[in-house]
A and B are shown apart, each in its own frame.
Chain A
Amino acid sequence: MFTLFGIGFTTPWLLLGLVALPILWLLLRAVPPAPVRRRFPGVALLLGLSDDDQQSDKTPWWLLLLRTLAVAAVILGFAGPVLNPEPERAGSGPLLVLLDGTWADAGDWPRRMDRAEAVLSEAARQGRTAAVVSLTDLPEGPVPFQAADAWAGRLPSIQPRPWVPQEDAVAEWGGALDGAFETFWLSDGVDRPWRDDLLADLEDHGGVTVFESPRSVTGLRPARFEDGAVQLSALRAAPGPEREIGVTGHGTDPNGIERALVTATLPFAQGATEAEASLSVPPELRNRITRFELDAVRSAAAVSLTDDALQRREVALVAGRDDREGLELLSPTHYLEEALEPTADLIDGAMDDVMQANPDAIILADVAQVSRAEELLEWVEGGGLLVRFAGPRLAASDVSRSEEDPLMPVRLRAGGRSVGGAMSWGEPKGLRDFQEDSPFAGLSVPEDVSVNAQVMAQPDPTLSDRVIASLEDGTPLVTRKRVGEGQIVLFHVSANAEWSTLPLSGLFVQMLERLAVSTRPARPDAADLEGTVWEPDTVLTAFGDLQDAGTLPGIDGAALAEARPGPETPPGLYRGEDRRVSLNVIGAETTLAPTAWPDRIPVEGLDIVRETALKGWLLTLALGLMALDVLAALALAGRLRGPRAGAGAAAALVLALAAVPQPGTAQEIERAETDDPPLALEATTEVVLAHVVTGNDRLDETAHAGLRGLSRTLFQRTSIEPAAPIAVDLETDELAFFPFLYWPVDADQPIPSDEAYAKLNTYLRTGGMILFDTRDADVAGYGASTDTGRKLQRLAGPLDIPPLEPVPEDHVLTRTFYLLQDFPGRYAGADVWVEAAPADAEQVEGMPFRDLNDNVTPVVIGGNDWAAAWAVDDSGSALFPVGRGYAGERQREIAMRFGVNLIMHVLTGNYKSDQVHVPALLDRLGQ
């Protein structure tokens, strides 16, 4: 490629044309603008006047310059200029394109892919084999070197992962490499412990070139809740200039709609790699936050999912007695308060007040009779957690004695028991290890916990399922019952230390945590999660998008506590029984450091200049200059002002318009925006007949004219005074406004969409009527014998159409206004079908008609081409001939009467049909 001043030309010989520019200059200069000839009687007065200066008989220099520039732009444009032509890269042998493929790549992934593609296409031009390997998705076996263009096609299938490569896997892969190849390494710019080793491995096989984005990698640490505020911190790999980065907390609002709930700004100081901010958020709002995201960073590291750690539950404590003031340690709720205070928001008060607050959990400490039990039960069914503690009061009451109380998990035996006390035999009992299926599974039971009094559960068939903790002798200590969405838990001991030492132990706090009464402030450790299974709920992609986890397998709690994001444990939100734990790309201790490549490795930035073809720009410039030239020439010749400026101005306007790209749909949108209210108004201020737009212009016009004729007839003869008919587009227009739709069936009309059918069915169900007209005179009875008949079957297939029958003699349609027995349109004689009468319709003695169905038939189907018979033009004269002579006019009249009857039927319903009862009513009135 011929290169000049950094611009390459694909067809450089065209540049010779530039030599002709001076000649053009001279030529243009010699030709002044053409004069305008004007007839003007006043010329007699002009004779003898001479021009002041003679300069303008030559083209002005600026116009010349304009034209020369335009021509130069054309010549340059066609010479095919390319800005920043890529220098050819020499090389031979296989090429390995190595991608880190981590979340840090995600921010500029498309650009990396572009770069990789450029490298591959270059390799393809040079006939080199190549391979693309992502370190997060290492191939089995040797490096798959193939033709470079084959890899180019597979590039889109390579995606970054939201974790970093496993150190040992990378080391193993690096050690197993063989053969000689050149390496092109697209690094993500974050220092990793395995990088140096891998680089050494790669250099054993050939040269290594590294590409790195100059953009610093940024990440968001998990949010912590400290000192009554949410602490946020972001970190970046390379210390840079002072910068502020926004962070947004997302969550669902009370309506369940995902939206940004809080925003904050994290300021990076000059040269600092960490920025912190604290965000004071009301508990209601804080509990709704599901994740924090750095603004304008597209990477999994910019998203930090919050789990229960950030949430503080509202727990209501209700104590049975509060009479012994001063004896705090004996207060039934003292230990609960101590245990919950750090991790939950406590609500104290009477039952009434507590229910108003709608807490997450309610703890009843030794409460026997619950006021507002029904309301409480409803709350539990809606997902509430009710935890009850036993105590002397509960033991002495009759609650849940003979029958299970709805607010108790089990029945209780009278009195309870006491072991190991002064008046009893035996030792205080310890706790048995928790079973596998218990929510407490995995918690270690301290030796010193002992129980010396408890309430006893009645043995029931369901008891064993409900026990989640028991004493050494197998008697239940904690029982649980699920009610609706929520659960009721009963600790068979008191909440203070009177009956057991459980409230004094750390186990008590852990048990409350497991029950999700409280939440932990920090990330759980392995011991906390021992024995639990966690299912991924949502997982993060490398780009920071949330995805449903689908069928990913569950993870053992202990493993999860230790897990780093990896193929088995993708970052995301994990759900346990009642708790959630998040695994984020950036943990609390993660640090980011920029890569440090040895000096011998060439490192290029990602933002290398790209080839830009300038041809389009230059040709556009030339066109613009020529347009300017037209304007300038018009102005010079005096055609932009003065008489006949209209033409010149119009030309200028056309040029201006041509230069502005016109959005094609603007008009339609405008129409849609501006037309809707008028349609609704037009259709509802007066009765309006409507026809369905079929797409066949002629047919639509006929239908419109037909309805116009019918509307006129109605106006003249009846009290129905319809306005001008409206054409209805089933896809876009609202149908609810129209009592009646005329639907001429055209063999070529498109089948309406599902949404349109849904609208039509609603329309039919809510009292609308459609008159289907196949316009084929029903030549062979009903069936698929004609195109339109077949089309009708397809059109009507998805509609809710009741069973049909030909109009019976006594149908209300025969007498709503005129007495009719046949319903001709332009054609006469074919049957017209309406909704069938119910099977039990019988003629009452002495009545002329049967008591037919009460409803208006939702459809009327025929083939008589009524619209053509009704059609009139603006002056009111018929548009189509009907029949012959007087008989034909009579037929048109009957067709009109059918139309009148039909509209009457639509608008008055069964009113006429009910007239059959008039004699009986009169009879009853004694008249």
Chain B
Amino acid sequence: MTTSATLRARAEDLASPLPPLLADAQHLAQSVLLGAHGRRRAGQGDEFWQYRPAMVGDEARNVDWRRSGRSDAHFVREKEWQAAQSVLIWVDNARSMSFTSGRNVPQKGDRARLLAMAAAILLIHGGERVGLSGFGLPPRAGPVQLLRLASALGEAEDVPDYGTPEARGMLPRSRALFVSDFLGDMEPVEAALTKAADRGVKGALVQVLDPEEEAFPFDGRTIFESMGGSMRHETLKAGDLRDRYLARLAERKDRLRTLCRVTGWQYECHHTGEPPTPALLWLYRALEHVQ
């Protein structure tokens, strides 16, 4: 039934995450003080980087005569390399991300999109090119890209219970950001990270978890189901499972951390019960430090 009313309702439904996500992300991004975002190495750019003694091979026009006049040697003025970097973002939009444990705790997916979007804003303000991994939205610069990102992040249709990282379409030596709960199968994650490492892509991996997933505060006879219902597990005493569950979760985190260390990525676990700013700050540093 596609009457105008339902159409409009669906359209509004669709449109609703965009402005808040963008606005929230802008707001969050404001909290990170943003200076000029250089490569911290000499190269093409506008900003002064350093003076170095002229060496054989330097063209005469490159010599900075003002600086050289104050000493006996010749100096070459170098600018900071400001070539834009491409950052590819993958945000898990699987059903497991729509879990939330309470009214005051946002969905994991919302938090993940918020973090990714805020990071994108920071990056784009810094002059980088940002896009989504895969072939949907190739990295571009400029504010318009933010709108495209927001729109693309909101899309979700016919998604599986657990997401698999999208490692296709990665430019060599670019950077990447994966945000997910990483509760599903670990094989695709390993495969994606390995593939990225092969291409010289480094980046950050943020695991977003709900406080309840950390605490497992259940008891009594319980049937646990995955968000899509594809998996279920029945127990008679949920309380007895807690320790084993927590051990498995710790093991999962450890595995992710190890994987990141091996591939040169950085790992962070973020809980939706906490404010997003620290995570963003960590993310900002993490993406910046990638050389």
Contacts from A to B (Cβ < 8 Å): 32-47, 49, 51-54, 56-57, 636-639, 641-643
Residue of B97, B101, B226, B239 touching A43 (CB-CB under 8 A)? B226
Contact A44 B184, beta carbon cutoff 8 Å = yes
Given contact pairs A40-B213, A40-B226, A53-B237, enumerate 17 new A-B contacts (beta carbons under 8 Å). Answer: A32-B221, A38-B225, A39-B225, A39-B226, A40-B99, A41-B99, A41-B227, A42-B183, A42-B245, A43-B226, A46-B248, A47-B231, A52-B237, A54-B236, A56-B237, A638-B220, A643-B101
* Nearest B-chain residue to A645, judged by Cβ: B217
Tell me which residues across on chain A come within 8 A of B184, comparing CB atoms.
44
Q: What's the minimum C-beta distance from B207 to chain A, rounded to whole angstroms?
A: 12
List 21 A–B pairs whose Cβ atoms lie within 8 Å, in order of A's numbering.
A32-B221, A35-B220, A36-B223, A38-B223, A39-B227, A41-B161, A43-B226, A43-B232, A43-B233, A44-B162, A44-B184, A45-B249, A46-B224, A47-B231, A49-B244, A51-B236, A56-B236, A638-B218, A642-B218, A642-B219, A643-B101
By a CB distance below 8 angstroms, the chain A residues around B210 are 41
The answer to whether A643 touches B231 (Cβ under 8 A) is no
Distance from B126 Cβ to chain A, minimum over Cβ atoms (Å): 34
For the complex of A and B, the 3 pairs showing the least CB-CB separation, nearest first, are A638-B220, A638-B219, A41-B96
The chain A residue sitting closest to B222, CB to CB, is: A36
CB-based contact B183/A46 at 8 Å = no
Q: Which residues of A contact B20 (CB under 8 A)?
A: none
Cα(A49)–Cα(B161), bound, Å: 20
Query: Nearest B residue to A53 by beta-carbon distance?
Result: B237
Q: Is the pair B233, A51 in contact by a Cβ cutoff of 8 Å?
A: no
Contact B222 A49 (CB under 8 A): no
| Residues in chain A near residue B249, CB distance under 8 A | 42, 45
User: Is B169 an interface residue, CB under 8 A from the partner?
Assistant: no
Check B225 against A51 for contact (C-beta < 8 Å). no
Given A46-B245, A639-B220, A641-B219: A41 in contact with B240 (beta carbons within 8 A): no
Contact, CB under 8 Å: B221 / A33: yes
Majority SS at the chain A contact face: loop
Nearest-Cβ distance from residue B254 to partner chain A, whole angstroms: 13
Asked if B212 CB lies within 8 Å of chain A CBs, one says: yes
Instruction: Please determine whether B223 and A42 come into contact, CB atoms closer than 8 angstroms.
Output: no
Measured between beta carbons, the chain B residues less than 8 angstroms from A639 are 220
- Is there a chain A Cβ closer than 8 Å to B54's Cβ? no
Find B235's partner among A33, A49, A636 (CB 8 Å cutoff): A49
Shortest Cβ gap from A632 to chain B (Å):
12
Interface residues of B, count at CB 8 A: 43
B238 on interface, CB distance cutoff 8 Å: yes
> How many whole Å from A102's CB to the nearest CB in chain B?
70
Which A residues touch B166, using CB under 8 A? none
Structural contact, B241 and A46, CB atoms closer than 8 A: yes
B234, CB-defined interface residue at 8 Å: yes
* Interfacial chain B residues near A51, Cβ < 8 Å: 235-237, 240-241
Which residue of the partner chain A has the closest CB to B226? A43
- With A42-B216, A43-B233, A642-B217 known as contacts, the answer to whether A37 contacts B225 (CB < 8 A) is yes
| CB contact list, B234-290 vs A, under 8 A | 234-241, 244-245, 248-249, 252
A43 touches B237 (CB 8 A): no
CA distance in complex: A639, B241 (Å):
17
Complex: chain A residue closest to B217, CB-CB: A642
| Chain B minimum-CB-distance residue to A35 | B221
**How far does the alpha carbon of A639 sit from the alpha carbon of B223 in the complex, in Å?**
14
A39 to chain B: which residues have CB within 8 Å? 99, 224-227
B19: CB under 8 A from chain A? Answer: no
Contacts A637-B220, A643-B101 given; indicate if A44 touches B183 (C-beta within 8 A): yes
> Which A residues are in CB contact (< 8 Å) with B162?
41, 44
- When the two chains form their complex, are residues A52 and B238 in contact, meaning their CB atoms are under 8 A apart? no
Point out which of B218, B232, B249 has the most chain A C-beta atoms below 10 A from its C-beta. B218
- A42 x B213 contact (CB < 8 A): yes
B97, B108, B231: residue with the most chain A Cβ atoms closer than 10 Å: B231
Cβ A35 vs Cβ B218 within 8 A: no
Contact check, A36 vs B221: say whether CB atoms are below 8 A apart: yes
The proximity string for B residues 38-74 relative to A, scoring 1 for CB distances below 8 Å and 0 otherwise, is 0000000000000000000000000000000000000
A40-B99, A641-B219 are contacts. A49–B225 as well, Cβ < 8 Å?
A: no
Contact of B181 with A by CB under 8 A: yes
How far is A35 from B234 in the complex, measured between Cα atoms in Å? 9
Contacts of A56 in B (CB 8 A): 221, 236-237
Judged by a CB distance under 8 angstroms, whether B102 is at the interface is yes
Cβ contact within 8 Å between B245 and A45? yes
Nearest Cβ on chain A to B188's Cβ, whole angstroms: 13
In contact, B217 and A41 (Cβ under 8 angstroms): no
CB under 8 Å from chain A, chain B span 176-223: 181, 183-185, 210, 212-213, 216-223
Write the chain A residue with the least CB distance to B216. Answer: A42
Residues of B within 8 A of A34 (CB): 221
Instruction: Return chain B residues, CB-CB under 8 Å to A57.
Output: 221, 236
User: Contact check: which of A33, A35, A45, A641 meets B248 at CB < 8 Å?
Assistant: A45
Q: How distant is the Cα of A87 from the Cα of B97 in the complex, in angstroms? A: 76
Cβ B226 vs Cβ A44 within 8 A: yes
Q: Which among A39, A40, A57 has the greatest number of chain B C-beta atoms within 10 A?
A: A40
The residue among B162, B218, B221, B245 with the most chain A CB atoms within 10 A of its own CB is B221
Q: Is the CB of A41 within 8 A of B237?
A: no
Task: Give CA–CA (A58, B204) in the complex, Å.
Answer: 49
Instruction: Please report the C-alpha to C-alpha distance between residue A73 and residue B61 in the assembled complex, in whole angstroms.
Output: 106
Contacts of A36 in B (CB 8 A): 220-223
Which residues in chain B, 151-167, are within 8 Å of chain A measured between CB atoms? 161-162
**Complex CA distance for A642 and B216, rounded to whole angstroms:** 9
Contact of B222 among A35, A45, A47 (CB under 8 A): A35
Q: Are B225 and A43 in contact (CB under 8 A)?
A: yes
Least Cβ distance of A635 to chain B in Å?
Answer: 8
Q: Are B226 and A643 interface neighbours, CB within 8 A?
A: no
**Residue in contact with B181 in the complex, picked from A41, A46, A642, CB distance below 8 Å:** A41
Residues 7-24 of B at the A interface (beta carbon under 8 Å): none
Across the interface, do B220 and A38 meet the contact criterion of CB distance under 8 Å?
A: no
Contact B221 A41 (CB under 8 A): no
Whether the Cβ atoms of A49 and B220 lie closer than 8 Å is no
List, in ascending order, chain B residues with CB within 8 A of A33's CB.
Answer: 220-221
Q: B116 CB to closest chain A CB, in angstroms?
A: 19
Q: Which residues of B contact A54 (CB under 8 A)?
A: 236
Chain A residues with CB under 8 A of B101:
643
Which residue of the partner chain A has the closest CB to B246? A45
A521 to B46, CA, bound (A): 127
B217 to chain A, nearest CB (A): 4
- Most interface-central of B162, B225, B236 (chain A CB within 10 A): B236
**What are the residues of chain A within 8 A of B245 when measuring CB–CB?**
42, 45-46, 49
Q: Closest residue of chain B to A33, judged by CB?
A: B221
A443 and B240 CA atoms in complex are apart in Å by 105
Residues of A within 8 A of B218 (CB): 38, 40, 638, 642-643
User: Are A45 and B223 also in contact (CB < 8 A) when A642-B217, A643-B212, A643-B217 are?
Assistant: no
- Taking a contact as CB atoms under 8 Å apart, the answer to whether B252 and A45 are in contact is yes
> Could you tell me the distance between the alpha carbons of A130 and B96 in the complex, rounded to whole angstroms?
88
Q: Which B residues are in CB contact (< 8 Å) with A45?
A: 183, 245, 248-249, 252
Cα–Cα distance between A457 and B245 once the two chains are bound (Å): 122
CA distance A54 to B232 in the complex (A): 19
Q: Is the CB of A638 within 8 A of B238?
A: yes
Chain B residues within an 8 Å CB radius of A643: 101-102, 212, 217-218
CA distance in complex: A34, B232 (Å): 16
Q: Report the separation of the CA atoms of residues A641 and B217 in the bound assembly, to the nearest whole angstrom.
A: 8
| Residues on A with beta carbons closer than 8 Å to the beta carbon of B161 | 41
Give complex CA distance A34, B220 in Å: 10
B239 lies within 8 A of A638 (CB): yes
Contacts A45-B245, A49-B244, A642-B219; A40 near B224 (Cβ below 8 A): yes
User: How many angstroms between the C-alpha atoms of A54 and B162 in the bound complex?
Assistant: 31
Query: A56's closest neighbor in chain B, by CB?
Result: B236
Chain B neighbourhood of A47, CB < 8 A: 231, 233
Given contacts A39-B226, A40-B99, A643-B212, contact A46 B221 (CB under 8 A): no
Closest-CB distance, B194 to chain A (whole angstroms): 21
In the complex, what's the smallest C-beta–C-beta distance from B132 to chain A, in angstroms? 23
For B162, the closest partner residue in chain A by CB is A44
